[in-house]
Amino acid sequence: MLLALVKSVGGRTDFFKWLLDGGYPELAAFSNAIRADDDAMVWLFKNNYAWLAILSNACDGDEKAVDWVRRGLTPVNFRFAMACQHNVDSLRWLHGNNLGIFLLLAHEVEKFLQYQRKEHDWPYVMHFGGHIRAEEALMGDKK
């Protein structure tokens, strides 16, 4: 199941679907939340998986989320979130505790976050402020 999560975070839709249809919708949503899917974040909160939504934000480096994970979740969750930010101590901790699957997952998250930052910083990307979903923008005055 965790290997499927690694693949899903890496962008494999077949593994995402396997998680979703195989009884792990929270992990499918978590993988999409990591990939900046607002609907997945909302689903996690509405379905009593707020901790996964906050963990996703911690993986992204949100300081408040990191603090909450440090105080409210297990050391594995905290070390995983920090490993996603390439924290060497956390990478070593996961390795030293034989948690290789979390190292693989952290590597996939880190790869995606680097890609996301690169795309965001591209000089031809326009930043308008706020966040409007494409569907809302297309609806315009039809609401």
Distance of alpha carbon 44 from alpha carbon 32, whole angstroms: 10
- Written as one string, the DSSP assignment of 89-108 is HHHHHHHHTT-HHHHHHHHH
The amino acid at residue 142 is K
Over range 135-139, report the average pLDDT: 48
57-60 LR contacts (CB < 8 Å, sep 24+): 58/84, 59/34, 59/84, 59/85, 59/106, 59/109, 59/113, 60/34, 60/84, 60/113
Using DSSP's 3-state secondary structure scheme, residue 68 falls into: helix
**Position of tokens 């707020």?**
50
Q: In the predicted model, what is the mean pLDDT of the chain? A: 85
pLDDT at residue 120 in the model? 56
Report whether pLDDT(28) > 70.
yes
Better-predicted residue by pLDDT, 63 or 131? 63
What stretch of H or E contains 115?
helix 100-121
pLDDT digits (tens, 9 = 90+) for 80-119: 999 999 999 999 999 999 999 999 999 999 998 888 776 6
Distance of alpha carbon 41 from alpha carbon 120, whole angstroms: 20
| Residue ranges per structural domain of the chain | 2-121
pTM: 0.79
pLDDT digits (tens, 9 = 90+) for 31-57: 999 988 899 999 999 999 999 999 999
